[in-house]
Amino acid sequence: MKAMETFHWDEHFTTGIAPVDEQHHRLVTLINELGESLIAGDSLASDTLQAAFDQLADYARLHFRQEEALMAEEGVSAEYLALHCRIHAEFSHQLAQMWATRHATANPSEVLHGFLRAWLAMHILGEDQSMARQVYAIREGVPARQALEHEASHDDNATAALLLAIQGLYQVLAQQNAGLVRANAELEARVLERTQALAEANNRLQALSNSDGLLGIANRRHFDTRLNAEWRRAAREHRPLSLLMIDVDHFKLYNDRYGHPAGDACLQAVARAAGTPLAMKRATDLLARYGGEELAVLLPGTPAAGAWAVAGEIQRAIVALQLPHSDSPVAPTVTVSIGTATLVPTPTGRPAELLAAADAALYAAKAMGRNRIVAHTAA
């Protein structure tokens, strides 16, 4: 693996202000340690790498605070102090942005470590050396403003111009990086928004594919899926599984008498009435359109007595609608016949057994004159 270039200290980086130089030495150490962690192949999300970065970022902020306090204490020009504070804040922000987007950066180890080395060199040779010269001038009795003006016309014009050019380039790159960060954040936000919209559309599509278009309850496809799943669950848990089959009495006569639109409205009202008792009970219960004017109610974990009680509630709710059915030989209003069945599924059994039992009970209810509930028995 290619070796990471480290920051090498020499006499050019010495400001002569002991606390500042000590902190610069510490920053060099932390930058090199982070570089070693990066080149060692540590995962970009590893705790070790994060700890190395946090230590560097925290110490840099500490250095900035103490450096700013030193300048204020020494009486450095307020104008220069404000510039120094702004540069410190920009670096902290830029470093945080680069760290946050390291996963999307090509060669993040080299880019991040190279940025830190270049920044520290520019920071010491530029702002901090200038600060040191002003501090020494002020200590010798030169007014802060005059020290700043003298710094602006420093004898080494070539070096000053080069540092100024590098600082300008740094500012441009910082702005570009900030723009990339914003663009990346906006892109991520759009991707998240579209992903959520797609998930919501899929959920709506799934709901539509599982619902009966006329009655707004589960369709036969969804009922079959749930019946198979609940059968397997009941077999594993050795719990009862109950099923109600509901048929609107003489519905063909209703359609012939009142017309198909009225027949649709009748089925919708019956479905709403049948669902009312279930809505007050458990979310696991399922009301579905089994076919035509026939509804099915799946009651997981419900014994025979419970299924009978639910059937009675549904029957009373439908009678309470008082929907006229003048051609019915059973009653002057719409009524239903209900067959109930309860089994404790076995691993070798089939859901068709429960369907057949409930259907046989419904057939018996019809044969006995309709408008009644019949429970399936083994006999």
SS3 303: coil
Tens-digit pLDDT profile for residues 177-199? 656 666 666 777 788 888 887 77
The torsion of the CA quartet 223, 229, 232, 233, rounded to 10 degrees, works out to -110
Q: Report which listed range, 22-31, 89-98, 236-245, is most confident.
A: 236-245
Lowest mean pLDDT across 70-74, 277-281, 328-332: 277-281
- Give catalytic residues, as residue numbers: 293
Give the pTM.
0.52
Q: What is the pLDDT of residue 195?
A: 81
**Higher pLDDT residue, 248 or 107?**
248
What is d(CA 77, CA 151) in angstroms, rounded to the nearest whole number? 11
Q: Range(s) for CATH 1.20.120.50 in the chain?
A: 11-193
What is d(CA 185, CA 205) in angstroms, rounded to the nearest whole number? 30
- Considering the segment(s) 11-193 as one domain, its CATH architecture is Up-down Bundle (1.20)
What is d(CA 81, CA 73) in angstroms, rounded to the nearest whole number? 11
Q: What is the mean pLDDT of residues 338-361?
A: 96
Give the CATH fold of the 220-375 domain. Alpha-Beta Plaits (3.30.70)
Which residues pair with residue 342 across a beta bridge?
242
Q: Range(s) for CATH 3.30.70.270 in the chain?
A: 220-375
Amino acid identity of residue 192, one-letter, is: L
How far separated are the first and last CA of the chain, in Å rounded? 81
Sheet holding 294-300, edge to edge: 286-291, 294-300, 241-248, 336-343, 373-375
Tokens 């060199």 locate to: 121
Residues 6+ positions from 376 with CB-CB distance below 8 Å:
339, 340, 341, 342, 357, 358, 360, 361
pLDDT above 60 (res 165): no
Tens-digit pLDDT profile for residues 60-91? 899 999 999 999 999 999 998 998 888 888 88
